[in-house]
Amino acid sequence: MLDLQTTIGKTISISGEGLHTGTSCTMTFKPAPDNHGIKFVRTDLGDNLEIPALAEYVVDISRGTTLGIGDTKVFTVEHVLAAVAGLQIDNVRIELDGIEPPIADGSSKPFVDKLLEAGIVKQKEPKDYLIIDEMIKYHNEEEGVDIVALPLDGFRMTVMVDYNNPALGSQHTGLFDLEKEFITEFAPTRTFCFLSEVETLADQGLIKGGNLENAVVIVDHEVKENELQDLSKKLGLEGEITVGASGFLNENNLRFRNEPVRHKLLDMIGDLALIGAPIKAQILAARPGHKSNVEFAKKIRKLYLQKQIEKKYQHVKKEGVVFDTVAIQKILPHRYPFLLVDKIIDLELGKKVIGIKSVTANEPFFPGHFPGRPIMPGVLIIESLAQTGGIMMLNSVPNPEEKLVVFMGIDKAKFRRHVVPCDQLILEAELVSQRDRFVVIKAKAKIGNKVAAEAELKAAIIDRE
């Protein structure tokens, strides 16, 4: 049975102050049609500009995940996205009359409660799962972050944190069943930070909506009574601040023994919603944060976009083939006798591509180049490289089927070996740079492991008329 997409049953709102800006905001969840996705709209700006909850629209990750287009931004969206993704809602319009969603109690539970109150309804289109079929890794040596996605017919997450702090210690947690565990075990977990971070953020004019009810504050240095009083004034808190014996301000009772690491997992669910599709994978993460989460989401989203394009053009899966000749003719406008790439065997959109051209005795250019000594013209080898490189640029512009990749220049061209009948050209192209619709591609044509020709190609992506 197919899993169907979902949305909510009715419009519902929640109001409150934003964590960093302290500004009031009413956030309204609205039903959305099939294949709409998750989109934010700033109604206070009047232009109804939709900001898709996708990794390419992340504009800041310094103290949370901020989405934006131009000057239109929505701060700190991760708890909202975690609620939507954790409930496996595919399509929803989220309207805000301010720049930042309410912080509520610092967790996703208030949003989860509202969405459940609105009701979750199934739609007609199937969910578009991204199935991870090979290991994907992210590593940041400087920050000690490692995240891995492994193949799994389902969804699991395991997270570990270790900040070398006695109050926090080393913590780990795992989510093994989203439907059974998310609402009760992870949605209620609150944001946390260290006391030194609170002081710095307060000095920067941030966390104006933060208090000891919506955040767990971990004491990470010795602190004097007058320092706590100063902090209380900066944050505009009422009542006395104390350092508890367990190392938390005001002995704020944890909702779970390992609430901090559970909240890290919650944040990660929200940030991974930026992939734009539910995934089937096992996620293992050590010391993740918003920066690493978003970088990892970008990496997986790139894979998702590539698989979408592969499904669009290559209807029949073939071992070791990304695009066969039939698929290539849906992508390129070239036809006999000028289609000079037979298949694509490896592709990283916007990065590199490998194609194959099998050179036969029946090529139309051999009778005239040269009679009795057939040699493939060097200019046609370059053309075959250019066609291969053009396929690599499929996702660089909207509606690629309406575009052409045309030559602007050829530099550093060298021809090192004759190409003759029965040779198989391995066509390798790698993107060097791209500015708007102008690209530079480094390309090589090889026979086995020996280079037959190479060049640096300059091209423009133009409208097909």
Q: What is the mean pLDDT of the chain?
A: 90
Query: What CA–CA distance (Å, rounded) separates 408 from 47?
Result: 39
Kindly report, residue by residue over 354-366, the tens digit of the pLDDT. 999 999 999 999 9
- Is the separation of the CB atoms in 426 and 452 below 8 Å? no
> Other C-beta atoms within 10 Å of 258: how many?
19
Position 329 scores a pLDDT of 94
pLDDT at 150: 98
Question: What mean pLDDT is predicted for residues 76-98?
Answer: 97
Q: Does the pLDDT of residue 1 top 60, yes or no?
A: no
pLDDT at 441 over 80: yes
| pLDDT value at residue 202 | 65
pLDDT above 90 (res 76): yes
Q: What is the pLDDT of residues 210-257, one digit of tens each?
A: 666 677 777 776 766 666 776 666 666 666 676 666 666 666 678 888
Q: Of residues 406 and 138, which shows the higher confidence score?
A: 138
Whole-Å CA distances, 82 to 38, 195, 200, 269: 12, 25, 27, 5
How much is the average pLDDT of 442-451?
97
What DSSP letter does each residue of 233-282 carry, written as one string?
HHHT--S---B-TTSBBTT---SSTTHHHHHHHHHHHHHHGGGSS-EEEE
CA 432 – CA 458 distance, rounded (Å): 10
Read off the amino acid at residue 374. P
Q: Is 181 helix (H, G, I), strand (E, B) or coil?
A: helix
pLDDT computed for residue 87 by the predictor:
98
Instruction: Please give the Cα distance from 68 to 40 (Å, whole number).
Output: 9
* pLDDT at residue number 167: 64
Secondary structure E strands in 86-127: 92-96, 120-126
* 4-126 and 314-463 agree in CATH topology: no
Report domain extents, the chain: 4-126, 136-311, 314-463
Strands 191-194 and 215-218: parallel
Closest CA to 416 of 444, 437, 384: 444
Calculate mean pLDDT across residues 171-191: 96
For the structural domain made of 314-463, what CATH number should be given? 3.10.129.10
Work out the average pLDDT over 141-155. 95
For 83, 95, 342, 444, 451, the CA distances from 363, given in Å and listed in that order, are 59, 60, 13, 21, 21
The span from the CA of 145 to the CA of 129, in Å, is 26
pLDDT in tens, 315-325: 888 999 999 99
Residue 465 is predicted with a pLDDT of: 74
Give the 3-state secondary structure percentages of the chain, helix then strand then coil, rounded to 5.
25, 35, 40
Convert the pLDDT of each residue in 406-423 to its tens digit.
889 999 999 999 999 999
Kindly tell me if the per-residue pLDDT of 344 is higher than 60: yes
Domain 136-311, CATH homologous superfamily name and number = lpxc deacetylase, domain 2 (3.30.1700.10)
The pLDDT value recorded for residue 381 is 98
Active site residues: 290, 369
Convert the pLDDT of each residue in 257-289 to its tens digit.
Answer: 899 899 999 999 999 999 999 999 999 999 999
Contact (CB, 8 A) for 133 and 151: yes
Asked if 122 and 51 count as a contact pair (C-beta separation under 8 A), the reply is no
Query: What's the CATH number of domain 4-126, 1.10.3470.10, 3.40.640.10, 3.50.50.60, 3.30.230.20?
Result: 3.30.230.20
